[in-house]
Amino acid sequence: MFLRAITILLAFLALPAVAQSCGSRLYVSGFFSTVHVFDACTGQYLRDLDARSRLSGAMAVRLGPDGFLYAVAETGGALGPAFPARASGLAGPDNGMTFGPDGNLYVPGYDSNSVVRWDPRTGATSVAVAAGLFHTRGLLPARDGQHIFITSEGSGALLKWNLASGAVAVLATGLVQPTGIDYGTDGMLLVSSSTSVVRIDPATGARVTVSARPLPLSRFSSCWCRRPCRSALRW
């Protein structure tokens, strides 16, 4: 998510100049450019993953459980041949794209106010969540393996979706354009709310603390591979 990407990039800036190159790669999606590939040890730019004409409006890049990279571009609609554009009504695919504990890929639809599911084993798509969302942004698989957290930017809400039953519960409200979401080291949820970060209890939805310090957020997402990933035209 945003916070993870920012943390990684800031860490690169702190690396000594003598840092050695390695086989690990950092893939960063730039909304106004494409997906860029960096050396994960030195931070050195290596190349673009693909042409901007194919990845225009790149929103997210993720490493799948099959070892392939999956990139989603807003202009293209979705994952191209692997995931047909506007499949199951998906519009405005956003940077919360993630693989769930069930092995399916979930893509938030900012303009379609939905979450679309893609099964990589069959290639089938379906609407996973359609109710209670307004400008869907962030997705985060819960550590219990049964839920996915969803940020709804337009309604200022954090929701908790049960994969088995399909039930959607409102976990927290009153957030200001919530986008990125991740777990903190203490197990609490960290949700970006405007230029602040809200720390939320994943079980109760209670706000624990709020960081009022403005954060320089940018429109990019990242994916880190410990080894060179197998590349395929999965977008």
pLDDT single digits (tens) 200-232: 999 999 998 777 555 444 444 555 454 433 333
Highest-pLDDT range among 63-67, 169-173, 193-197: 169-173
Pairing outcome for strands 157-162 and 58-63: unpaired
pLDDT single digits (tens) 160-170: 999 999 999 99
Q: What is the mean pLDDT of the chain?
A: 81
Sequence-distant (6+) residues with CB within 8 A of 74 are 31, 56, 57, 58, 59, 92, 93, 94
Q: Give 147's strand partners.
A: 162
Per-residue buried b or exposed e for 194-219, using 16+ beta carbons within 10 Å of the residue's own CB: eeebbbbebeebebeeeeeeeeeeee
Structural domains for the chain: 2-225 (2.120.10.30)
How far apart are alpha carbons 43 and 134 in whole angstroms?
36
pLDDT single digits (tens) 127-138: 999 989 999 999
pLDDT above 70 covers a percentage of the chain that reads 78
pLDDT at 78 over 80: no
pLDDT band (50, 70, 90) for residue 234: very low
**Of residues 90, 29, 93, 91, the one with CA closest to residue 63:** 29
pLDDT at 199 over 50: yes
pLDDT at 46 over 50: yes
Least confident of 23-37, 75-89, 145-159, 163-177: 75-89
pLDDT band (50, 70, 90) for residue 182: very high
Residue 210, pLDDT score:
76
Residue 33, pLDDT score:
84
Residue 233, pLDDT score:
34
Neighbour count for residue 56 (Cβ, 10 Å): 15
| Residue 123 or 82, more confident | 123
